[in-house]
Structure 1
Amino acid sequence: MADYQYQQPMATQGMSFSPGGNRNAKSLPYDSNGEREWSNGICGCFDSFGTACLAIWCPCIAYSRNKSRVEYLEKKGVAHPDGGDSCTGDCCCYTTLGLFGFGWILQMGTRAAVRTRYRIKGGGFGDCCTAWCCTCCELTQESQELELEEQSLTGR
Structure 2
Amino acid sequence: MAYQQQQQYQSQQPMPTMGMQVGGGNRNAAGKPLNSNGKRDWSHGLCGCFEDCGTCCYACWCPCIVHGKNKQRITHLQVSGSPEPDGGSCCSGACWGHCLLTSFLGAGFVLQCMNRGDTRGRYGIEGGCCGDCCSSFCCGPCDLTQVSREIELEEKSFGQRY
Question: TM-score scaled by structure 1?
Answer: 0.87
Give the corresponding residue for 1:119: 124
Alpha-carbon separation, structure 2, partners of 1:36 and 1:20: 20
Unaligned runs of 5+ in 2: 1-18
AA of the residue aligned to 1:152? S
Q: 2:32 aligns with which of 19, 24, 28?
A: 28
Q: Does 127-136 or 17-26 show the bigger shift? A: 17-26
Question: Is 2:136 the counterpart of 1:131?
Answer: yes
Identical-residue share of aligned pairs (%): 49
Give the corresponding residue for 1:106: 111
| Compared CA separation, residues 106 and 32, structure 1 to 2 (3 A) | same
Q: 1:52 aligns with which of 51, 56, 64?
A: 56
Counterpart of 2:133 in 1: which secondary structure?
helix
Unaligned runs of 5+ in 1: 1-15
The 5-angstrom pairing of residues 21-100 of structure 1 reads 21-99=25-103, 100=105
The higher-RCO structure (CA 8 Å, 6+ apart) is 1
| Compared CA separation, residues 106 and 29, structure 1 to 2 (3 A) | same
Q: Quote how far apart the aligned CAs of 1:154 are.
A: 2.4
Give the corresponding residue for 1:9: none
Contact 1:64/1:85 (8 A) holds in 2: yes
Alpha-carbon separation, structure 2, partners of 1:20 and 1:105: 31
Q: Quote how far apart the aligned CAs of 1:111 are.
A: 0.4
**RMSD (CA atoms):** 1.6
Across the two proteins, how many residue pairs are aligned to each other?
A: 142
Alpha-carbon separation, structure 2, partners of 1:46 and 1:81: 26
Alpha-carbon separation, structure 2, partners of 1:72 and 1:27: 23
Larger C-alpha radius of gyration, 1 or 2? 1
